[in-house]
Amino acid sequence: MILTVTLNPAVDKTYTSGELITGHVNRMRTVMSIAGGKGINVTRILRQYDYPVCATGFLGGYAGNFIEDYLRANQVYCRFIHVDGETRSNMNILADNGYVTEILEPGPEINEEQMQQFLAQYEKLLPKSELVVLSGSMAAGLPEDFYSVLIEKARMRGIKTLLDTSGESLRKGIEAKPYLIKPNQKELEYIVGHKLVNKDDVAEAALSIQAAGVGHVVVSMGKKGLLSVDGGKIFYAKAARIKVVNTVGCGDSVVASYAMSIMSGMRNEEALQRAAAISMANATTLISAEIPKETADELLGHITVEQLR
């Protein structure tokens, strides 16, 4: 079983409009609500590929019930801690002019008792798990090193962890030496403290993080593609040309794809190529984290992986 941890889930609302104008009334053309948050997106993709998944984290209120019902309907084993307050909603507005605007709510605050309940639940779930995916922002009230605590607990049981977060949560998580991290280029710039101009800069930054003890660093660079550092070797997958509809969930698609590749023992070059294909396929659809598998399979044949070093 793969265990996914989403500490700050969300109901993702995707709107379409002609144009978004600040300071004015904006009427949306369509709206669609789905269970979201980075870890939930990973969970949904893994289930589309028939991997057994247990999802945990914090949920609250009507929105929390909506997410849990959605996951259970897709045969996800749910073990969330239910908290006071309402799980957040995130708005993703797609305008005809090509601009994408995201509005992200903060979510409920977690108290000490709820945090301890989660840790106890996490300890119970680890023996049943082969892999742990830790994704997304930290819920308010949790310490910045909370992901580090979860990574250490998994390591004590010999379980690999995949970490996809940002800011200080990522910095602290790196100190715990997870098996894999998946920052985007801006998140990597925050960690190393300077601008990364080209893929050579990205590669050097990723190498420095691997030298600090992280097993595998995968960097998403948007339309430029993906870069992977593993065992000192650097691989780069250039993005194929596609018609982009919605980029939300592309990074989560990379994480889900790597989780599947790790479970199946796939070589790094193949894992990178597959992750690029699944991520790009995600961008071709309006619904985030709903992978058109035929598109992903077709894109796989158009993605070349180059070893840079």
Quote the CA–CA distance of 220 and 124 in Å, as a whole number.
Answer: 33
Is residue 252 annotated as part of the catalytic site, yes or no? yes
Instruction: Judge whether 273 and 305 are in contact, CB under 8 Å.
Output: yes
Identified catalytic residue from 12, 164, 230, 252 = 252
Instruction: Judge whether 111 and 34 are in contact, CB under 8 Å.
Output: no
Quote the CA–CA distance of 304 and 239 in Å, as a whole number.
Answer: 9
Quote the CA–CA distance of 284 and 14 in Å, as a whole number.
Answer: 15
Cα of first residue to Cα of last residue in the chain, in angstroms, is 34
Quote the CA–CA distance of 276 and 93 in Å, as a whole number.
Answer: 24
Structure tokens at 230: 């593993």
Instruction: Judge whether 255 and 164 are in contact, CB under 8 Å.
Output: yes
Beta-carbon contacts of 109 under 8 Å, excluding residues fewer than 6 positions away, are 85, 139, 140, 141
Quote the CA–CA distance of 206 and 25 in Å, as a whole number.
Answer: 44
Report the catalytic residues: 252
